Amino acid sequence: MQLMGRQSWLFDRRPVILATGTVVGPFEGQGPLAADFDHVHDELSIGQDSWEKAERALFEEAAQLAAKKAGIAMDQVRFLVGGDLMNQIISSTFAARTLAVPFIGVFGACSTSMLSLATAAMLVDAGGAPYAMAVTCSHNATAEKQFRYPTEYGSQKPPTAQFTVTGAGAALLGRSGSGPVITAATIGKIVDFGVKDPFNMGAAMAPAAVDTILAHMNDLNRSPDDYDLIVTGDLSKVGHRLALELFAREGFPIDKTVYSDCGMMIYDYEKQNVQAGASGCACSAVVTYGHLLNRMKKGELKRILVVATGALLSTISYQQGESIPCIAHAVAIESGVN
C-alpha cells in the first residue's frame, strides 16, 4: 500500500471483493434496481417489533449473505468494519454483537459505505487480515424518527428533501480470489460551505464530493476518462446538478466520463414520491454492491469510482443553528482477477 499525494492510497495487493450481500425494504423493491438486490423484504418492519431492531436485522442479514455467497464462515472473517446513521452507531454495534466478529465501528454518515470499504481494503492490503468485511445500513423510519419527525406525522417535505433508503450492503474482501478488485481510495476532508438546511443535504454535500474527486485525480494523476463511471453516493437531483456546476467552474472535464449519482438510481421518480431522490448509508452501499458490481460482472463497466457522500450533522447541531459539515470518500473498483 502506498500513500499517493496528500490523501489517497494505492493498493498494491488489490484486495478482491469476494462477495457482497444486499438487502432492501419493500419501497426499494418497487424501484428500477430491485432485480440487483439479494433480498427484498415485504415489510418495512423486517418482522421486528421496533424500527431500530429492523435496521440491525438488515445489517446482520447483509453480512451473513456476503459470507455465505463467498462460502466463508463468519468466524473466518477477521474484522468487521461498519457504521450507520443511528446515535452511537447502535445498528452496527448490536449487529456486530450477534455476528461476534472483531469490530471496527466507523461513522461517516452516508459516506460510511466507502469509508468502511476503504478501511477494510487497507486492512487486507496491509496484511492485517485475510478476510475483512465492510457493512453499512440505514432504515427510512429510524432516520425519520431520529433526524426529522415521527414517521406518521403529517408534514409536507420540500422538493429538495431526500428519502432515506431502507437496506443494508456488505462487501467481503479477501487477499486473493476472483471478483472485482479495489485499487485505490481517497479519504475526504470535511468541507463546509455553510449550508444549514437539513432538508437540502444534496446542496450541502456537493462541494465535499467535488473536493474529494479533484483530490483523487490530483493525488493519483488520473483524469475522468480513466473511469467508465464516476458515481457520487447520495447527492440526488439538487446536489448532482450543483456538483456538475462546480466541475464546470473548476474546468474539470467530467464530461469525459459518465457521472451519475446513486441517489438518483434506486427509485423511480415518476412513480415514487421521493422528492429530490434517495439518501442514507444504504443508498450508495446497495447500489454499488448490488447494481454496479453486477454491471461490472456483465462486463459493462471496467473501472469505476464510487464517491460516497456524508452530511455530518446531528439534531442538536442544526437546532443550534450550525451549518452542515460534509465529507466524501472515494474508492476505485476495477473488474479483474487477482
Contact positions vs other proteins (CB under 8 A)? 49-52, 145, 149-160, 191-195, 200, 203, 206-207, 210-211, 214-215, 218, 223, 237-238, 241-242, 245-246, 249-253, 273, 276
- Termini Cα distance of the chain: 15
The greatest distance separating any two alpha carbons of the chain, rounded to the nearest whole angstrom, comes to 52
Query: Helices (H), strands (E): how many in the chain?
Result: 10, 15
Which grid cell is 104?
471496527
Q: How many CA atoms lie within 13 A of 205 on its CB side?
A: 36
> Is the Cβ of residue 153 or residue 320 nearer to other proteins in the bound state?
153
Rounded alpha-carbon distances, angstroms, from residue 242 to 200, 210, 239, 245, 331: 12, 10, 5, 5, 22
DSSP secondary structure letter of residue 260: E
Say which residues have a Cβ less than 8 Å from residue 147's Cβ, sequence separation at least 6: 85, 198, 315
> Is the Cβ of residue 14 or residue 56 nearer to other proteins in the bound state?
56
> Is the Cβ of residue 71 or residue 156 nearer to other proteins in the bound state?
156
Burial of 35 (0-12, 13-18, 19+ CB in 10 A): exposed
> Is the Cβ of residue 48 or residue 76 nearer to other proteins in the bound state?
48
Backbone angles phi, psi at 15, to 5 degrees: -55, 140
> Is the Cβ of residue 116 or residue 166 nearer to other proteins in the bound state?
166
Which grid cell is 247?
466541475
> Is the Cβ of residue 257 or residue 288 nearer to other proteins in the bound state?
257
Which grid cell is 301?
463497466
Minimum distance from residue 305 beta carbon to other proteins (Å)? 16
Minimum distance from residue 108 beta carbon to other proteins (Å)? 19
**Residue found by looking up cell 496528500 in the block:** 6
Q: Letter for the amino acid at 196?
A: K
Rounded alpha-carbon distances, angstroms, from residue 16 to 9, 13, 20: 16, 9, 11
> Is the Cβ of residue 249 or residue 298 nearer to other proteins in the bound state?
249
Q: Letter for the amino acid at 336?
A: G
> Is the Cβ of residue 113 or residue 200 nearer to other proteins in the bound state?
200
Minimum distance from residue 202 beta carbon to other proteins (Å)? 9
